[in-house]
Structure 1
Amino acid sequence: MSLRPRPPRHRRASRRFPATLAGATAGALVVGLAPMPALAESGAGAPLGTTARTAGDAHFKPGPCPRTADPIPDLKRAHCGTLTVPEKRSRHHHHKTRKITLGVAVIPAVKHRHASDPIVWLAGGPGDDSVSEIPMAVAGGLNRDRDVIFMSQRGTYSADPQLTCPNVDKFNARALGLVFGAPSTGRLHVQATRKCRDSLVRRGADLSAYNGIESSADYDGLRRALGIKHWNVFGISYGTDLALQYMRLHPKGIRSVGIDGVLPPSLAGGAVTWKAAREGFDGIFKACARQTACNTRYPHLKTTFERLVSALEAQPVTTTVTVPGRPKPVQVVLDGGLLVNWLTFASHLAAGVPRSIDELAHGNPQRIAQQWAGGKLSPQAVGRVSHGLSFGVFCREWTPFESAADVLRAGRHLFPTFPRSVLVNAPLLSWLHADCRAWDVPPAPRSIRSVTRSDIPTLALSGGFDSQTAPSSGAYAARTLSRSTAVTVPYVAHVVFADSKCAQKITRSFFNHPTAPDRSCLAGLRPPAFEIAP
């Protein structure tokens, strides 16, 4: 979820969500066989993204590739353009609303003879830019057999308008020197949120139009405007929430759906984030306990971590660290809430987690503070996330259907030793209900929380170390998808496609055989070799 700091290193081949280790699969429901797609010759007919076309309220126009914050060499061979859509679709706004444009890039398939049905990529966040995730998709070979389409979700970096708010990102960096969970920090955070909101409203944005319902219609419009009869969907993190909404609202033309780091719309919010933290943390703690060297050097890791959360919340520790690119040392205050959020992201660096916790327990907070500060102060942490879309989703689709008391109750049930001041702020979502009161948008229809029921073949991927969206959420979503395969890849954190060759292989196999993906690689997976301090 993009309101919170990125992982402590640039963990992608390229962002804002992500079964226990007892088994590699969370269960499977496999029914029937889908026909193999027709093969297309490269160059036969106009390539995707090279023909202007209007379909309903969506108009595609070929043109330059979308702007990106970092160079993306793969765009040199892409077919690009823009999709123009209404900012808000409704009987009352359809003819009066302003138009917005979404950047589109089509990365051609590697193979000369490839399947005719492409894959459309749904980015995470909410608020991440799809085009910036092209390197992750290409590194995972997603375009080996199919063209892959990337469209910026409304309000994101490569869209127009771009609803980023660097002031929020800069506050998060300045907050390194503040007590993370202090009420005073919360008030300052809400002030930054309100300033963001006011600036976007002054620029003419209708903040109620940036949400999953509108985004789902955008993708349906894109498919029709590109003249695609059938395509496949692949969503990561928040993109899984959007994918499940999209297949419920606009199922026509969807051949298959892959979701990775699953966040079901019916569960989205703070309570499931506490559940994710419990499952992901325990996955790491159990893996260490099962390795003789790790368990001997770092016994009772779970107990140690939870004791440190309470101790630091009662008495925060202040330290200074050096961060690459920063000429002066940076002050970092560690309290219990920060420690919980650190581990949520540090699950991507699981091999070093036991050592970092042990060093903190012995009075050395440097490794944790440096990782945390590095994520907050990275150039990639400023001006990249669409807070307009983030809060549009959070405040229309999540907080109206889950109270602050619900979040506290879930946290207390899963982490009974944590102080109340930690439990009121779910991981990744600190001060969210107060932020949403400041954001002040109307709630979405209650149907937004409906469970998705579908017979579209679906692959639900989860990671055993996923402390952002919960390993069990994949199996939960799959229960109402009658032609689904739910797979938990052990020893991997949030969004397994980014970090696991096995997950990449399963995903590619799924799109070729949507009801019978090859999962044989799971049998050979081994836990990380945890770092052992001398």
Structure 2
Amino acid sequence: MAEHSYRNGMAVAGAGLALLAAVGPTSAGAAQRNADTGTVTGPGTAAASRFVPGPCPRTPEPIEALATARCGFLEVPENRARPGGRTVRLAVAVIPAASAKPAQDPVVFMSGGPGGETFDDIPFLVSSGLNRDRELIIMAQRGNLYDKPNLACPELDRFYATSVGLPSYAPQTERLMLDAVKQCRARLTADGTDLSAYNSTENAADFADLRTALGIKQWNVYGHSYGSNLAMTYLRLHPQGIRAVALDSIAPSQYVSLPFAWAGAQEGLENLYKACAAEPRCKSRYPDIERTLNEQVRKLEARPLTLNVRPPQGGDPVRVVLDGGALVNLLVAKAIPFVDVPAAIEELGRGRPERFARARAAGSVQVTGQTAHGLTNSVVCSEWVPDHSASDVLKAGREAFPDWPGPVLAQAPQLAFQEQVCRVWNVPDRTATMRVAPVSSVPTLFINGTGDMKTGASWAQKTARTLPHSTTVQVPGIGHWVVPQSSCAQKVLASFLTRPTAPDTSCVAGLGWEPFTITPK
């Protein structure tokens, strides 16, 4: 869900509006590869797709794995429904396997977001063992950093950096955000970008073309968050050549919407409350964290706190507004480690907001251009927003948290003002195309964390109903994007890639939540 991985979850993701393009995805089965040029042609392609070798991207911080990688870009039609239209270039890296005798079926990674920077994820993937026994293939989804075009929105980056000093859902905040969205959209469309072509159907066709262009007979797919959404779309539309699919922190394409976000927040918080109650020291020290949090959401929304706080990254103090909406967004984004959440809530109830205020201040330090907000807006506004109303979001919020004030519940967590943003972004409604469950016999693994407040762990069971050869795993006390955070999840994934129909999940049985931080009274 509109996030950019667990490592920078403090940012409040923004997005945009929605449109439906009559896109005919490339048929990977019908496509044929020219062995010399890597060109893909076939029914449904607006123009040939091809892989062009080239240097690896120059990342702000050196990525060790890229030193031995084979890189280049995949050139594909921007809009496959428009023959003769312009093409786009997508950055690709093939990272060699650590094993001297690797398996012949590589792993291709689908990153979260939508719009999250993909190459920045490579160190987490390598340290998690994704390339231990197989090549690891990375492709930046269309519009991402290192692609041409790059759908970054520095206008929105600047807004998010300043928004920490604004009330979360005030008219002034909304106006500033929409101004940034308008500026970004105008700039991208002036460059000739077809915003309607940046969607999951085209994304999935890009990966189908990549497999064929690289001459890969069969590969395994691993996607997290929005990447799991994309992986399911890919499985449904381009099943050819898929050996196995691993879905981390599932955001199922048939369910994801703004109301969906409230269900995830509710499930994650309830699991945290239960875990504290099950730990004697936490239960004794923090017996009323649910009641205290509910009180603080109401109190801060009615009377926000304004503080000057030094960001955890260092630098001068910044102005921070801590209101009910900010409090909820910080929790959902895991801006405070789970082990500290009960202590932070208890401190807040005693008039000590420092933990939450510092976490809010962290959002003032933005790396401009890293996130492809243009892709975020185009996906969210075409696939997640159009088939429900603002009242549906409020209703879902009230069902999840009946004690919280209406202004907080009217905005889905981390997706503020989305209905208004989408009217500005103006892309076609694709919800009818996306609200389709994949039906497949391909072995599928679901890995979810019980602490995830973005995409609740229970959605895996619902999604697995149409995937008969699936295995579901819940890792206690882990939040969004499980594998890099859990050695057990890494073992499960490795076992699944070795034996997709019978992975070893035994390590999960002995897991529990990490002990919570206990502060003196």
TM-score between both structures, scaled by the size of structure 1: 0.89
Partner in structure 2 of residue 30 of structure 1: none
SS at match of 2:333: helix
Residue 440 of structure 2 is matched in structure 1 by 454
2:52 alignment partner AA: K
Q: How much has 1:215 moved relative to structure 2?
A: 0.4
Distance 1:419 1:51, change over 3 A: farther
2:285 counterpart (283, 297, 305): 297
> Runs in 1 of length 4+ with deviation above 4 angstroms?
4-7, 9-12
Q: Give the Å deviation of 1:328.
A: 2.4
Task: In structure 1, list runs of 5 or more residues that go unmatched.
Answer: 18-49
Correspondence 1:286 to 2:271: no
Amino acid paired to 2:111: A
* Matched residue, 2:364: 377
Between 1:244-253 and 1:442-451, the stretch displaced more is 442-451
The one-letter code of the counterpart of 1:85 is V
The residue type paired with residue 206 of structure 1 is D
* Equivalent residues of 1:6, 1:345 under 8 A apart: no
Give the match for residue 23 of structure 2: none
Q: Distance in 1 between matches of 2:334 and 2:310?
A: 18
In the other structure, the counterpart of 2:76 is 85
Residue 328 of structure 1 corresponds to 316
1:253 aligns with 2:238: no
One-letter amino acid matched to 2:139:
M
Aligned to 1:405: 391
Equivalent residue for 1:341, pick from 308, 321, 329:
329
User: Do 2:9 and 2:335's aligned partners in 1 also have CA atoms closer than 8 Å?
Assistant: no
Residue type of the alignment partner of 1:486: T
Match of 1:166?
A: 154
- The aligned counterpart of 2:174 is 186
Gap change, CA 1:355 and 1:348, over 3 Å in 2: closer
Q: CA deviation at 1:131?
A: 1.8
CA contact (8 A) 2:151 2:372 kept: yes
The residue aligned with 1:392 is 378
Aligned counterpart, 2:416: 430
Name the structure 1 match of 2:83: 94
Deviation, 1:183, is 2.5
AA aligned to 1:217 is A
| Matched position secondary structure for 1:199 | helix
| 1:207 aligned onto 2:198 | no
Query: For the structure 1 residues 402 and 332, does the alpha-carbon distance in structure 2 shift closer, same or farther, using more than 3 Å as the test?
Result: same
Structure 1: distance between partners of 2:295 and 2:469: 44
Whole-angstrom distance in 1 between the partners of 2:265 and 2:347:
21
Q: Deviations over 1:221-265 (max 9, x none)?
A: 000000011111000110011000010011111111000010011
d(CA) in 2 for partners of 1:159, 1:169: 18
In 2, Cα distance between equivalents of 1:11 and 1:411: 21
* SS of alignment partner, residue 91 of structure 2: strand
Residue identity opposite 2:74 in structure 1: L
Q: Give SS of 1:306's match.
A: helix
Q: Secondary structure at the match of 1:462?
A: strand
Per-residue deviation, 1:69 = 3.5
Q: Any idea what the Cα deviations from partners look like across 1:140-159, whole Å, max 9, x if unmatched? A: 00111110100010000121
Shift of 1:51: 7.2
Q: CA deviation at 1:348?
A: 6.6
Percent identity at matched positions? 45
Gap runs ≥5 in structure 2:
15-34, 42-47
Equivalents in 1 of 2:400, 2:430: separation in Å?
Answer: 29
Does 2:308 correspond to 1:308? no
**Partner SS, residue 445 of structure 2:** strand
Q: Distance in 2 between matches of 1:309 and 1:446?
A: 36
- The SS at the match of 1:346 is coil
Tell me, what secondary structure is at the counterpart of 1:179?
A: coil
Query: Which amino acid counterpart does residue 38 of structure 2 have in structure 1?
Result: R
Do the aligned residues in 1 keep the contact of 2:5 with 2:112 (CA within 8 Å)? no
Residue 98 and residue 5 in structure 1: after superposition, are their counterparts in 2 closer, same or farther (change >3 A)?
closer
How far off is 1:309 after superposition? 0.5
CA contact (8 A) 1:11 1:348 kept: no
- Residues 157 and 366 in structure 2, CA contact (< 8 A), matched pair in contact too: no
The residue that corresponds to 1:509 in the other structure is: 495
Equivalence for 1:128: 116
Where does residue 521 of structure 1 map in the other structure?
Answer: 507
Verify: 1:59 aligned to 2:50, yes or no: yes
Tell me how far 1:63 sits from its aligned partner.
1.1
* Other-structure match for 2:479: 493
| Structure 1 position 482 matched with structure 2 position 468 | yes
Q: Is the 8 A contact 2:55 2:71 kept in 1?
A: yes
User: How far off is 1:294 after superposition?
Assistant: 1.0
Distance 1:6 1:58 in 2: 29
Alpha-carbon distance in structure 2 between the residues aligned to 1:147 and 1:457: 20
Residues 171 and 431 from structure 1, CA distance in 2 versus in 1: closer, same or farther, beyond 3 angstroms?
A: same
Are the structure 2 counterparts of residues 510 and 82 from structure 1 closer, same or farther at C-alpha, using a change threshold of 3 Å?
same
Query: Residue in 2 aligned with 1:362?
Result: 350
- Could you tell me which of 447, 458, 471 is aligned with 1:472? 458
- After TM superposition, the score normalised by the length of structure 2 is 0.91
The answer on whether the counterparts of 1:181 and 1:338 sit within 8 Å (CA) in structure 2 is: no
Structure 1: which amino acid aligns with 2:62? P
1:80 CA drift (Å): 0.7
The letter of the residue matching 2:83 is: H
Deviation per residue, 1:108-134 (Å, 9 max, x gap): 111111110001000000001222211
Q: How far apart are the structure 1 equivalents of 2:426 and 2:176?
A: 17
SS of the equivalent of 1:280 reads: helix
Deviations 1:438-472 (A, max 9, x none): 00111126121111111111001110001011111
Partners of 1:346 and 1:353 within 8 A in 2: no
Q: 2:365 corresponds to which letter in structure 1?
A: S
Q: d(CA) in 2 for partners of 1:368 and 1:347? A: 8
Please give the alpha-carbon distance, in whole angstroms, between the structure 2 residues aligned to 1:325 and 1:436. Answer: 33
> What one-letter code is carried by the residue in structure 2 that aligns with 1:519?
T
The one-letter code matched in structure 2 to 1:250 is H
Residue type matched to 1:378 in 2? V
Shift, 1:379, TM fit: 4.2
